[in-house]
Every structure is written in structure tokens, then in C-alpha cells.
Amino acid sequence: MNSSKRNILYSLILGEVSALFLFFVIKNPYIEEIRSLAESYSSFSWILFIALPLIFLFGVVIGELLAKIFKIFRQIVRFGEIGVLNTFIDFGVLNLLIWITGITGGMAIAPLNAASFICATTNSYFWNRVWTFGKKESATGKEFTQFLIIAGIGIVINTGIIVIGTSLISPLFGLSPAAWTNVMKMIATFISMVWNFLGYKLWVFKVKHD
């Protein structure tokens, strides 16, 4: 399979899987702000499985065009798309666990957040290794150890922001506790994604721009 077809296939897969995990966020009954909206538009949920893959495909096309100017854009766009998938996996698993346990904040949220982050991070390793940074050599113990170190620090950053944000700051803007947890999760995800990209590129995978 040539590079163009592979990029199309990967982007469509990322979009479909992202739509699947987004369902767990939409269906979380503890998020009062989207519960009524989800109930009203539940019959249109299938649109996500068409819209997200097309959005991911469009992103890859834009990335390839920008790469003609600066090659690093190819990596940034791919990392970004994988990051979106990781985010939906992270949010999806977290909201599924919130749904199951009823826990929405404080120290009790830490193991739930760590579990969701580990799922997303594992996904991140395989996708970024193969697609973003194009590593063709077999994975080594050293590389995976380095990855775990970066990811481990990322988990600490991510979970720390979630715990502090939900323990020390009461929900703002009239948000429910579950919605506020997701706001903190968005902030934590952005900061940990920046850390992860720099760590993967400069230390773990260390490849030249393709």
C-alpha cells in the first residue's frame, strides 16, 4: 500500500474509533449539560461516524499541503489527529468509569483518570511510532522504557491537574461537577499533549523530518 492510500486509511480509522469513544462522553448521565441535548438528538448520533472520518481525512490533506512548505507540519498534523483519538479514548474511558462509579472529582477520581490516560497512552505509542514518526526499526526495550518515562510524567501532569482542579476549585460558570471534571480534563490533556510531543520527538523516537 502506497503512502497516500495508507494515510487515507489511517485517517478514516482514527475518525471512526474517535466517534466510538465520543459516545461514552455524550451518553454520560452525570453531565447534565449535554444529557438533554443527547436525548434530543440521539437518533442523529450515527452522523458522527461519517463526519469525524471526513474531518480527519481533511486534516491529513491539509497537513500534506502544508508539508510542502515546512515538512514538520506533516508530523504535527499526524500527531494532532492521533492526539484527538487519544483524547476521545481518554475522555471516553474516564466518562464510562464515572458513569459506572458515580465518582466525579477529588482524590477518588485519580485512579479513574490514570486508567483512562494509560489506555490513551498505549494507543498513542503504537500510532505515533508507526505513523507520526515513521519508525521502521523494531521496537526496543530502551525505546519503550523512554516512552514510559515520558508517558509517566504525562500521567502525573494530567492527573495532577485533574485532582487539583476538582479538589480546590469549585465548578465555575454554573457547570455540574461532571462537566467541570471534563473542563479540567481538557486543560490537562492540552498541557500533557505538548509535553508528550516534545518528549517523543526529541528523545523517544528522534527521527528526522520526513
pLDDT by position in tens, the chain (length 210):
677 888 889 999 999 999 989 887 877 766 766 666 656 555 566 788 899 999 999 999 998 888 888 888 888 889 889 988 988 998 899 888 988 898 888 888 889 988 998 898 889 888 988 888 877 777 677 888 888 899 889 889 988 999 999 898 888 888 888 889 889 988 998 898 889 888 988 888 875 444
* pTM of full prediction above 0.75: no
pLDDT attached to residue 209: 44
pLDDT for the residue 53? 94
pLDDT at 15: 93
Q: Which 3-state string (H, E, C) describes the chain?
A: CCHHHHHHHHHHHHHHHHHHHHHHHHCCCCCHHHHHHHHHCHHHHHHHHHHHHHHHHHHHHHHHHHHCCCCHHHHHHHHHHHHHHHHHHHHHHHHHHHHHHCCCCCCCHHHHHHHHHHHHHHHHHHHHHHHHCCCCCCCCHHHHHHHHHHHHHHHHHHHHHHHHHHHCCCCCCCCCHHHHHHHHHHHHHHHHHHHHHHHHHHHHCCCCCC
What is the pLDDT, as a whole number, of residue 161? 93
Indicate the domain borders of the chain.
Answer: 3-204
| pLDDT given at position 188 | 92
